[in-house]
Amino acid sequence: MGNPISREQFLERARSRFGEKYDYSRIIYKSYKTPVKIRCRIHPVKEISITPEKHLQTTGGCKFCLREMRIQMLERELQRHSAVHPPLQPASAEAPLEVKDPGR
């Protein structure tokens, strides 16, 4: 089992990782594995209940930030894919497709 960390160590690590993205002013720190209440400064609609351990191991705990990050990743992947595979051009009305009759 890992060494327990203090409230000050947790706050130092969290601010080092996330900067000022989260508000830690209302946490009541008991242990590394006991949930604390934090708030995302970008999406302050709801307090986030998360263990200090999970907060430092994940993207932070804000589901709205996670959604935005996933959308950005998907858009980046779609742009990369469209650069490699250009979209199919629809057949023009001037040149109809020839259909071969398998019976001939």
> For the residues of 14-65, what is the DSSP string, one character each?
HHHHHTTSEE-TT-----TTS-EEEEESSSTTS-EEE-HHHHHHSS-S-HHH
Is position 33 within any domain?
yes
Considering only residues 102 and 43, tell me which one the structure prediction assigns the higher pLDDT: 43
Whole domain around residue 20: which residue ranges?
Answer: 7-83
pLDDT of res. 99: 67
Is position 101 within any domain?
no
Is position 76 within any domain?
yes
Tens-place pLDDT, residues 53-104: 999 998 888 999 999 999 999 999 888 888 777 666 665 656 566 767 776 5
pLDDT of res. 82: 80
Is position 40 within any domain?
yes
pLDDT of res. 93: 56
Instruction: Find the range with the poorest average confidence among 22-26, 44-48, 84-88.
Output: 84-88
Is position 34 within any domain?
yes
Structurally, the chain folds into a number of domains equal to: 1
pLDDT of res. 91: 59
Is position 92 within any domain?
no
Is position 94 within any domain?
no
Rounded to an integer, what distance in angstroms lies between the CA atom of residue 85 and that of residue 78?
10
Rounded to an integer, what distance in angstroms lies between the CA atom of residue 22 and that of residue 48?
10
Q: Are 7 and 29 in contact (CB under 8 A)?
A: yes
Is position 15 within any domain?
yes
Mean pLDDT of the chain: 86
